[in-house]
Amino acid sequence: MATANLFLSAHQCKQLRRLAKGLAFCSPWIAGFVAFGIVPIVLSFYYSFTSYSVLQSPRWVGLQNYSQLVTEDRLFWLSLGNTLYYVVYSNLIGGLLALTLAMLLNMKVRGLAIYRTIYYVPVIVPVVASSIIWLQLFNPQYGVLTFILKSVGIPPIPWLTDPAWSKPSLILMSLWSIGNAVIIFLAGLQDVPQEMLEAAELDGASSLEKIRFITIPMISPVIFFNLVIGLIGGFQVFSQAYIMTRGGPADSTLFYVLYLYNNAFQFLKMGYASGMAWILFILILGTSLLVFRSSSRWVYYAGG
């Protein structure tokens, strides 16, 4: 019995030494995660209940920031509406376009690797660089899009200077970087069992029927994944509007995160901005949970 206890003690000491070595190797990441992840999250939650301008110590105000946001701040609701508009249409149009392109690339075309590269390259272009490129494309005087429209007899469109066109313009720009979704859809399409498609064809199913009743259900987990990622990214749209429009014209591109940024770093209302950040977290979490809950009705997992 004593020998067994001695063996267990030695074994436990060995395990503890391994754990200590592992933690020592991971300690730089753990320290960074705590310092730049956990601590800012906790502080932002505290600051959301305070009036804090960075230049002065935070002053506790309770729920005043949240109450003011919901009941008094017109720009809060305007920015939220702009963001929801962008989230809905960018995901709807971008998802359909990405799925269509993936289906075309899945038809055993020649040079498939080249096409994949062409569609994926915009994804790795920095947002600042792509925004500057699109500023030139949207230029109403000498932009490429203006030249194309003029060549077919259509007058120039005030892409970024008309409130009616500003959000659609940024949604159009977002379609340039759907390469990620295209590649993911393409990977899902290549996992669709060919024998099922061949059997459906022998039974007289048309191409649209095969897509509707076989392809879409089989790739529904991929659609679900892209939808969740698109929703999370859409709610956090910031860089394009900040670089290209600064929220104009007439606040038509004042997205939620841009308005949060303005409150934090222009108006130095850090407590107010922290409240906005936590409301955004709740919105993203709630939307994601709704999508997850609905997934049981339309997402099919083979073998599940």
pLDDT tens-digit readout, 132-182 = 999 999 988 888 888 888 888 888 889 999 999 999 999 999 999 899 999
Burial of 186: CB neighbours in 10 Å, binned 0-12, 13-18, 19+: buried
Mean pLDDT for the chain overall: 90
If you compute the radius of gyration of the chain from its CA atoms, what whole number of angstroms results? Answer: 26
Domain residues for the domain of 157 are 73-298
Output the pLDDT for position 22: 87
CATH number of the domain where residue 193 is located: 1.10.3720.10
Per-residue pLDDT at 2 exceeds 60: no
Per-residue pLDDT at 32 exceeds 90: yes
Q: Is residue 247 within 8 Å of 237, Cβ to Cβ?
A: no
pTM over 0.95: no
Q: Is residue 32 part of a domain?
A: no
Using CA atoms, how far residue 34 sits from 20, 188, 275, in Å, is 18, 37, 21
Query: Residue 15: CA atoms inside 13 Å, Cβ hemisphere, count?
Result: 6
Q: Is residue 192 part of a domain?
A: yes
Give residue-wise pLDDT tens across range 55-113.
Answer: 889 999 999 999 999 999 999 999 999 999 999 999 999 999 999 999 988 887 777 78
Confidence of residue 303 (pLDDT cuts 50, 70, 90): low
Per-residue pLDDT at 7 exceeds 80: no
Output the pLDDT for position 142: 85
Give residue-wise pLDDT tens across range 216-249.
Answer: 999 999 999 999 999 999 999 999 999 999 999 9
Distance, CA of 53 to CA of 172 (rounded, Å): 37
Q: Is residue 304 part of a domain?
A: no
Give CA 280 to chain center in angstroms: 13
Per-residue pLDDT at 4 exceeds 70: no
Q: Is residue 54 part of a domain?
A: no
Q: Is residue 47 part of a domain?
A: no
Confidence of residue 8 (pLDDT cuts 50, 70, 90): low
Question: Mean per-residue pLDDT for 114-131?
Answer: 88
Q: Is residue 216 part of a domain?
A: yes
How many domains does the chain fold into?
1
Residue closest to 274 by CA, chosen among 71, 39, 83, 52: 52
Distance, CA of 49 to CA of 271 (rounded, Å): 7
Question: Mean per-residue pLDDT for 267-279?
Answer: 96
Output the pLDDT for position 270: 95
Q: Is residue 42 part of a domain?
A: no
pLDDT > 70: what percent of the chain?
96
Question: Mean per-residue pLDDT for 184-208?
Answer: 89
Q: Is residue 133 part of a domain?
A: yes
Per-residue pLDDT at 304 exceeds 60: no
Output the pLDDT for position 12: 82
